[in-house]
Amino acid sequence: MDPKISDFGLAKLFGADETHGITKRIAGTFGYISPEYATHGLFSVKSDVYSYGVLVLEILIGRKNSGYRGSEHPIELVTHVVWRHWTQGSALQVVDQDLVEQCQAQRILRCIHIGLLCVQDDPIQRPTMANVVLMLNNHFVGLPTPLAPAFLGSCNTTIESNGVPRRENSNGSMGILMKDSENNVSISELEPR
């Protein structure tokens, strides 16, 4: 299966064979659309990964991403609340208490970790959905350290016409991003003889 943009407004914007693109018509639900799409009209399969990560984090803390009113900040996105607690080592404090009572803390923390990997600012750093499934199903797979969620940093990634992602460097120059890192997981598909 090839993941496609799951938000209906986005699904209409590109064809069955497209995996990335640029649009000037922004559609989607605020809080769930990826920052590169919201700010630059860039969409890819990693846009789905971002939306999925938001949903995972919403489920874990029991609040919608439109604004979290349980913190000292009047309206704060779920991704920001979870990230702050994650970096402070207090991630379980923000989790829905019903979940904490029903599930093992280690499993909850792993799901938070995966959710944060999905909402990273840089789409290249987000895992593929195949890797997300692997991480959820195999607790022996090590997880890379998540980077700051989208909208906490600045989104300065572009996708070239040939599909190669590029990111603006601090000196203003553009550099080609590698699609794989040593932290990625490879998946082998076995077929019977």
Closest CA to 185 of 119, 147, 138, 148: 138
Band of pLDDT at residue 16, cut at 50, 70 and 90: low
Residue 49: the pLDDT is 92
Report the pLDDT value the prediction gives residue 4, as an integer from 0 to 100.
Answer: 43
Confidence of residue 38 (pLDDT cuts 50, 70, 90): confident
CATH superfamily, domain at 51-176? Transferase(Phosphotransferase) domain 1 (1.10.510.10)
Q: What is the pTM of this model?
A: 0.66
Q: Which long-range contacts (CB under 8 A, 24 or more apart) does 108-113 make?
A: 108/60, 110/135, 110/139, 110/143, 111/56, 111/60, 111/136, 112/57, 112/60, 112/82, 112/86, 113/86, 113/143, 113/146
Sign of CA dihedral 60, 110, 50, 172: positive
Over range 108-130, report the average pLDDT: 95
Instruction: With beta carbons less than 8 A apart as the criterion, state whether 34 and 47 touch.
Output: yes
Q: Where are the chain's structural domains?
A: 51-176
**pLDDT score of 166 more than 60:** no
pLDDT band for position 8 (50/70/90)? very low
Q: What SS3 class is residue 90? A: coil
Nearest-angstrom CA–CA distance, 137 and 144: 16
Sheet holding 157-159, edge to edge: 157-159, 165-168, 174-176
Q: Is the predicted pLDDT of residue 32 greater than 60, yes or no?
A: yes
Looking at residue 36, its pLDDT comes to 80
